[in-house]
Amino acid sequence: MSAAAEPAVLAGEDATLSELPLLRRERIWGFWDYSSVNIGLAIATWAFLQGGAVAYYVGAKQAIASIVIGYGISVLLVSLAPCLPCGRYGVEQFVSMRSVLGERGARVLMVVMSAVLAAAWSAVLAIMCGHALANVTNQLLDTRISAGAGVVSVLALLALCSSWVIVARGPRSIELVNRFVAPGLVVVTLVMLALVFTKTSWSELVATPALSPWGDGHLDFMLAIELNIAGGFAWWPNVGNLARLTRTTRSAFWPNAIGLFLASVVAAIVGVFAALALGSEDPTLWMVPLGGVLLGVLALAFVGMANITSVVAQSYAALVAIKGGGGASVRRVPWGLLAALILAPAAVLVFFPTAVYDNYARFVSWGAIAVAPLCAVQIVDFFVLRRQVLDVRALHTPYADSRYGFLRGWNPIAVVAIALGALTYALLLNPVTYEPSGWFRYLTASLPAFAVAGLVHYALTRLVLAWRTDWGGYR
Amino acid sequence: MDDEMRAELERRLVLIEDAGGAEAALPPLPLTDLAAAVTALAVLTIALLWWVL
- Closest Cα partner for A299 from A42, A45, A39, A41? A45
pLDDT at A178 (0 to 100): 60
Provide the 10 A C-beta neighbour count for residue A33: 17
B18 touches chain A (CB under 8 A): no
pLDDT > 70: what percent of chain A?
Answer: 93
Q: Does residue A450 form part of some domain?
A: no
Domain residues for B26? 3-52
User: How high does pLDDT run on average in chain B?
Assistant: 92
Q: Does residue A241 form part of some domain?
A: yes
A vs B, Cβ pairs < 8 A, gives 95
Number of domains comprising chain B:
1
Is residue A430 helix, strand or coil? coil
Range A80-102 average pLDDT = 94
Range A61-88 average pLDDT = 96
- A30 touches A247 (CB < 8 A): yes
Q: Which residues of B touch A390 (CB under 8 A)?
A: 25
Q: Does residue A439 form part of some domain?
A: no
Provide the 10 A C-beta neighbour count for residue B20: 5
- A409 touches A102 (CB < 8 A): yes
- Closest CB to A249: pick one of B4, B5, B28: B28
Domain residues for A268? 2-359
Q: Does residue A178 form part of some domain?
A: yes
Is residue A410 helix, strand or coil? strand
Lowest mean pLDDT among A11-25, A277-291, A345-359, B15-29: A11-25
**pLDDT tens digit string along A192-247?**
889 889 888 999 999 999 998 999 999 999 999 999 999 999 889 888 888 998 99
Residues A271, A192: Cα–Cα separation, whole Å: 9
Selected residue with higher pLDDT from A150 and B40: B40
Selected residue with higher pLDDT from A4 and A231: A231
Largest CA distance in chain A: 74
Lowest mean pLDDT among A184-198, A306-320, A366-380: A306-320
Provide the 10 A C-beta neighbour count for residue A138: 16
Q: Which residues of A touch B47 (CB under 8 A)?
A: none
Amino acid letter, A472: G
The shortest C-alpha distance from B18 to chain A (Å) reads 11
pLDDT at A85 (0 to 100): 96
Residues contacting residue A156 through CB under 8 Å, at least 6 positions apart: A123, A126, A127, A129, A130, A350, A353
- Between the two ends of chain B, the Cα-to-Cα distance in Å is 58
Number of domains comprising chain A:
1
Q: Does residue A438 form part of some domain?
A: no
Q: Which residues of B touch A84 (CB under 8 A)?
A: 28-29
**CATH number for the domain that contains residue A297:** 1.10.4160.10
Q: Does residue A84 form part of some domain?
A: yes
A289 touches chain B (CB under 8 A): no
